[in-house]
């Protein structure tokens, strides 16, 4: 297992190199010139060229990439065009905010989805299965922005139970209760899709597992029903659950872009939108790189967990 992990880590090195090329290229080949946002419309050609030189955009793209990659290897992600602050100082707080939202989403989604999926499989075709499945299809279908605005209208504007957005209340000292109130609606919006999606996967997988011979044998031997379910049924479905979860986590970054914008959550998603509007290339490249690293780590963690939950899998 150790050799496999080392091999996977070594494989990620050329993949990361390709990711850096892609991140740099996709951002720098976008239409428009960042200097247009940071200099007067009446500026002379000489002033514009001086601004391009100040931002490091006056050299050919291959030269810019080599310099950026060299700085990256030294832990330097560059200077933000808009704030003139080092990107390494901007990102940590934003990443922490997004990770908080993603962790809350994962916990809520899977704590609800796994038991509900099992219930649907056990009550297949019944009214409870139909009800839960209908809600899961609704959760997958409803757009984040529509659901989020609906929650804001009901719970923030009409009932005034929850704040409309942000991570803390401005002008007040931050505390756990206040932070939890701000976290509820964005977490519910993000969880709607992932919880519904996981319910469908768990239901389909458990229906298949319930029809297996070893489950019939355990039942015929008179083993405790709950013990049979958790020790034999759920344990054998963990591989599928891990597969879905490892693919869901990277998708949450995409969902966070919309959700964070709706609720003004100060995370990576909101930073990405503002960076696109200001053509802040260093920040955009850093966000893309962080997202790519997250995907690779999720895939590696999933492979390791496969071997942990299923002894038949050996690398």
For the chain, domain boundaries: 87-309
Rounded to whole angstroms, the Cα distance separating 286 from 281 reads: 9
pLDDT at 314: 63
Cβ atoms of 181 and 163 closer than 8 Å: yes
Predicted TM-score (pTM) of this structure: 0.84
Q: Is 286 exposed, middle or buried (0-12, 13-18, 19+ CB in 10 A)?
A: buried
Res. 1: pLDDT tops 70? no
- 87-309 CATH pick, 1.10.3720.10, 3.40.50.10780, 3.40.50.1820, 2.60.120.10: 1.10.3720.10
Q: How confident is the model at residue 189 (pLDDT cuts 50, 70, 90)?
A: very high
Res. 313: pLDDT tops 70? no
Share of the chain above pLDDT 90, in %: 10
pLDDT at 305: 81
What is the average pLDDT across 24-53? 78
Share of the chain above pLDDT 70, in %: 96
Residue-wise pLDDT tens digits, 242-292: 888 888 887 887 777 888 888 988 888 888 888 888 888 889 899 988 888
Q: How confident is the model at residue 214 (pLDDT cuts 50, 70, 90)?
A: confident
Mean pLDDT estimate for the chain = 84
Res. 174: pLDDT tops 80? no
Q: How confident is the model at residue 315 (pLDDT cuts 50, 70, 90)?
A: low
Helix (H, G, I), strand (E, B) or coil at 122: helix
Q: How confident is the model at residue 125 (pLDDT cuts 50, 70, 90)?
A: confident
């Amino acid at each position: 297992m150790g050799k496999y992990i080392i091999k996977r880590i070594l494989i990620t090195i050329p993949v990361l190199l390709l990711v850096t090329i892609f991140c740099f290229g996709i951002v720098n080949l976008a239409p428009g010139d960042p200097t247009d946002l940071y200099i007067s419309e009446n500026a002379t050609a000489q002033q514009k060229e001086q601004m391009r030189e100040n931002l490091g955009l006056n050299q050919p793209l291959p030269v810019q990439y080599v310099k950026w990659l060299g700085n990256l290897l030294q832990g330097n992600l560059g200077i933000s065009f808009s704030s003139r602050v080092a990107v390494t100082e901007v990102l940590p707080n934003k990443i922490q905010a997004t990770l908080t939202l993603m962790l809350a989403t994962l916990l809520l989604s899977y704590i609800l989805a796994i038991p509900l999926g099992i219930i649907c499989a056990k009550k297949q075709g019944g009214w409870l299965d139909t009800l839960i499945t209908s809600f899961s299809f609704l959760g997958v279908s409803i757009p984040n922005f529509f659901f989020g605005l609906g929650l804001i209208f009901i719970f923030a504007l009409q009932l005034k139970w929850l704040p409309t957005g942000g991570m803390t209340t401005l002008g007040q000292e931050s505390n756990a209760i206040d932070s939890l109130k701000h976290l509820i609606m964005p977490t519910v919006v993000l969880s709607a899709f992932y919880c519904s999606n996981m319910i469908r996967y768990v239901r389909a997988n458990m229906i298949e597992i319930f029809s297996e011979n070893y489950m019939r044998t355990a039942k015929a031997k008179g083993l405790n029903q709950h013990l049979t379910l958790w020790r034999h049924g759920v344990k054998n479905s963990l591989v599928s659950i891990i597969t879905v979860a490892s693919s869901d986590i990277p998708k949450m970054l995409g969902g966070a872009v919309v959700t964070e914008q709706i609720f003004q959550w100060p995370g990576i998603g909101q930073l990405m939108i503002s960076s696109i509007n200001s053509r802040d290339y260093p920040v955009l490249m850093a966000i893309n790189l962080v997202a790519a690293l997250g995907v690779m780590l999720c895939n590696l963690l999933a492979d390791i967990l496969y071997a942990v939950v299923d002894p038949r899998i050996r690398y």
